Amino acid sequence: MTDATIVVPCYNEADRLPAEEFGEFIAGHSEIGFIFVDDGSGDATGERLRALAGLCPERCTVFTLPENAGKAEAVRQGMGQAFETGATYVGYWDADLSTPLGEIIPMRDLLGADAELEMVFGSRVRLLGRAIHRHALRHYLGRVFATVASLMLGLPVYDTQCGAKLMRASPAVRELFVEPFVAKWIFDVEVIARLIRSLGPDGRQRAQEVISEYPLRAWRDVGGSKLRLSDFARAAGDMVKIHRRYLTA
């Protein structure tokens, strides 16, 4: 049994997948497993993933969706598979490794050190001694979005959209991934909103006690991102859907 199982959603990542970095990490961390979700890719992503998983088939699998369902659904289905591995912790990670795989370890240790915590979210905070490299425009747009998300959720969350998340594989967390998301892009915000609702009348206060943000030691923008400015407009629509579905009285 692995200590943690990480879901990696992949869509047309054949030219961007850092297979060598994955391979080195997999070889050096026998307690970590991976589920690579091929989200209906039209390139050689599936072949690359199967070759990578073949390096350690007892800890790495490829889960293939018949057609492109989007990142939210790829992560949700992958998490469903991850819970079945029996791992203590489950999470998801961006395939381009903008967040280095080594950050899994301190995030796992945070969960292990505090039995009350359910989730640890990577957070891209520029601090002395940290190597956080983001393009200026994406950084400032991200800060606007994060502020709006924080106000809507009623939580002092700094970074909802970083693609590095680790969670305790508890029944409460598992329940958050049972139903398809209403959001197509900002499903991370929806996960938090679902958690708040599940925690009852004092959900916002309880959420602050069971979620921790971890300032990443390193993060970098990787070329070829599928994020476009138009996605921020779509995110606004998703925000309205999330608020109506989970956060209205």
- Spell out the domain ranges in the chain: 4-247
For residues 183 and 243, give the distance between their C-alpha atoms in angstroms, rounded to a whole number: 11
pTM passes above 0.75: yes
CATH 3.90.550.10 applies to domain 4-247: yes
Residues 171 and 62 sit within 8 Å (Cβ to Cβ): no
Question: What is the predicted pLDDT for the residue at 181?
Answer: 97
Q: How would residue 239 be classed by pLDDT, with cut points 50, 70 and 90?
A: very high
DSSP state of 159: -
Sheet holding 32-39, edge to edge: 60-65, 32-39, 4-10, 89-93, 164-168, 119-123, 211-215
pLDDT digits (tens, 9 = 90+) for 92-147: 999 999 999 999 999 999 999 999 999 999 999 999 999 999 988 888 888 899 99
Lookup: tokens for 159: 């970074």
